[in-house]
């Protein structure tokens, strides 16, 4: 079982530094660089870094990177993740490259690597977005295999627990044990909770940007619900002249403010990544008003100079940064409330 605290104690990434720190690092202007949401990003970054340090393309790095997380059965993303209310795991993902090519899938079932399917949508169809049965059919036509139906051991247990009350209160990503366990049991025995997404953005040695985002969405969501993660402009946005941003948290609200696109546009106006993320989280706060305390949302960004930053609504968001000096570190995002 993935346990954040244990992971922090035992992880050996083979990279030279690894720390959880209170400071939000900005700019060293490094390239290549890869950053990703949450602490699962440390493992994902490591795979991305192998590509980046060998002068590989950012697009390959962000695809291979998040596949590590999709593979982690009993983790937060992919087929091992929490199901919807009806007991089915449905997956969403998107990817975007330096030429503004993009591909998305949503409500995809029984396919192990939705991020790879999203890339195939981008490269092998004239479309951007395929959903549900059609997305699955397309995946099969591209050689993907249908995985067995069913839940991972932990998801099964968590779902059974949830069924006892079947409360539908889609509040996600608040780092507060009491609030969290009140509406949906978390699978982690240290009280860490159901953030079910990894978003990754990278700049390669050639200075090109790409991004990816993959999720099982909100645990115990309504069947058919899709959040921000596969939506270009909301969950992810890349503009190779400016920068890239990726979001996590309450998808409905990130969609409302066009989160990732807004961050990139602010960077275009000259805002540093952290300041751009902060401004967008402030917009969210304004939109949500008093209800903001019930949700979490966070955005991470890098700009064309390899500067990076993040901001979140509430305390408890962290993100993983791997830079050219071979450091893979975990940073706390600054919070607004
Ligand atoms: N943003 C995702 C969604 O709403 C959830 C998450 O980031 O954990 O589906």
- Chain centre distance of CA 220: 18
Question: How remote is the CA of residue 23 from the centroid of ligand 1, in Å?
Answer: 25
In a domain, 325, yes or no: yes
Which of 144-148, 155-159, 299-303 is predicted with the least confidence, judged by mean pLDDT? 155-159
pLDDT band at residue 169 using 50, 70 and 90 as cut-offs: low
Q: How much of the chain, in percent, has pLDDT values that exceed 90?
A: 70
Please tell me which residue in 158, 186, 192, 197 is annotated as part of the active site.
Answer: 197
Q: pLDDT tens digit string along 74-131?
A: 667 889 888 999 999 999 999 999 999 999 999 999 999 999 999 999 999 999 999 9
Ligand 1 neighbours, Cβ below 6 Å, are 172-173, 195-197, 215, 217-218, 227-229, 248-249, 251
Question: Average of pLDDT values for 140-148?
Answer: 97
pLDDT band at residue 325 using 50, 70 and 90 as cut-offs: confident
Residue 121, pLDDT score: 98
Distance CA 26, CA 310 (A): 9
Residue 218, pLDDT score: 87
pLDDT band at residue 73 using 50, 70 and 90 as cut-offs: confident
Question: How remote is the CA of residue 40 from the centroid of ligand 1, in Å?
Answer: 15
pLDDT band at residue 170 using 50, 70 and 90 as cut-offs: low
Ligand 1 atom nearest to CA at 249: 7
- The mean of the pLDDT values for the chain is 85
The radius of gyration of the chain's CA atoms, rounded to the nearest angstrom, is 18
Q: Count the domains in the chain.
A: 1
Residue 237, pLDDT score: 99
Question: Average of pLDDT values for 11-19?
Answer: 37
Phi, psi of 256 (to 5 degrees): -55, -35
Query: In sequence order, which residues have a C-beta less than 8 Å from that of residue 90 and are 6 or more positions away?
Result: 83, 84, 107, 108, 109, 216, 217, 223, 224
Question: Average of pLDDT values for 277-287?
Answer: 98
Q: Catalytic: 192?
A: no
- Residue 247 sits in a domain whose CATH number is 3.60.20.30
Phi, psi of 159 (to 5 degrees): -65, -40
Distance CA 197, CA 249 (A): 8
In a domain, 1, yes or no: no
In a domain, 285, yes or no: yes
Is pLDDT of 11 > 70? no
Q: pLDDT tens digit string along 180-189?
A: 332 333 334 4
Is pLDDT of 70 > 90? yes
CB atoms near residue 287 (< 10 Å): 12
In a domain, 157, yes or no: yes
| Of the candidates 14, 10, 22, 51, the residue with the CA atom closest to the CA atom of residue 34 | 51
Task: Tell which wins on pLDDT, 208 or 195.
Answer: 208
In a domain, 192, yes or no: yes
Pocket-testing residue among 187, 249, 316, 317, ligand 1, by greatest number of atoms within 8 A of Cβ: 249
In a domain, 2, yes or no: no
Task: Tell which wins on pLDDT, 89 or 190.
Answer: 89
Q: How much of the chain, in percent, has pLDDT values that exceed 70?
A: 82
Distance CA 184, CA 172 (A): 9
Residue 28, pLDDT score: 55
Query: Structural domain of residue 291, as residue ranges?
Result: 7-16+25-335
Burial string for 236-272 (b: 16+ CB within 10 Å, else e) reads: bbbbbebbbbbbbbbbbbbbebbbbbbbbbbbeeebb
In a domain, 316, yes or no: yes
Task: Tell which wins on pLDDT, 170 or 223.
Answer: 223
pTM: 0.88
């Amino acid at each position: 079982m993935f346990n954040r605290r244990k992971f922090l104690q035992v992880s050996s990434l083979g990279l030279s530094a690894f720390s959880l720190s209170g400071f939000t690092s900005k700019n060293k202007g490094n390239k290549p660089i890869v950053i990703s949401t949450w602490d699962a990003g440390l493992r994902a970054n490591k795979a991305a870094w192998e590509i980046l340090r060998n002068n590989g393309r950012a697009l390959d790095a962000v695809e291979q990177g998040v596949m590590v997380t999709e593979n982690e059965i009993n983790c937060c993303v992919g087929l091992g993740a929490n199901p919807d209310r009806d007991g089915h795991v449905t997956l969403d993902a998107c990817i975007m490259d330096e030429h503004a090519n993009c591909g998305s899938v949503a409500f995809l079932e029984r396919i192990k690597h939705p991020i790879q399917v999203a890339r195939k949508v981008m490269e092998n169809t004239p479309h951007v977005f395929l959903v549900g049965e059609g997305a699955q059919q397309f995946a099969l036509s591209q050689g993907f295999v249908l995985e067995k139906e069913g839940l991972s051991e932990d998801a099964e247990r968590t779902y059974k627990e949830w069924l006892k009350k079947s409360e539908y209160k889609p509040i996600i990503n608040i780092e507060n044990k009491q609030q969290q366990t009140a509406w949906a049991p978390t699978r982690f025995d240290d009280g860490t909770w159901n953030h079910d997404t990894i978003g990754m953005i990278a700049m390669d040695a050639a200075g090109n940007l790409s991004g990816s985002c993959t999720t099982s969405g909100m645990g115990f969501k309504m069947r058919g619900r899709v959040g921000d993660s596969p939506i270009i402009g909301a969950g992810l946005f890349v503009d190779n002249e400016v920068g890239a941003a990726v979001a996590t948290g309450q998808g409905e609200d990130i969609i409302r403010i066009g989160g990732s696109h807004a961050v990139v546009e602010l960077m275009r106006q000259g805002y540093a990544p952290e300041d751009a993320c902060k401004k967008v989280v402030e917009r969210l706060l304004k939109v949500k008003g008093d209800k903001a305390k019930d949700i979490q949302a966070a955005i991470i960004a890098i700009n064309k100079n390899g500067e990076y930053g993040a901001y979140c609504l509430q305390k408890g968001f962290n993100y993983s940064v791997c830079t050219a000096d071979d450091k893979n570190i975990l940073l706390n995002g600054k919070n607004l409330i």
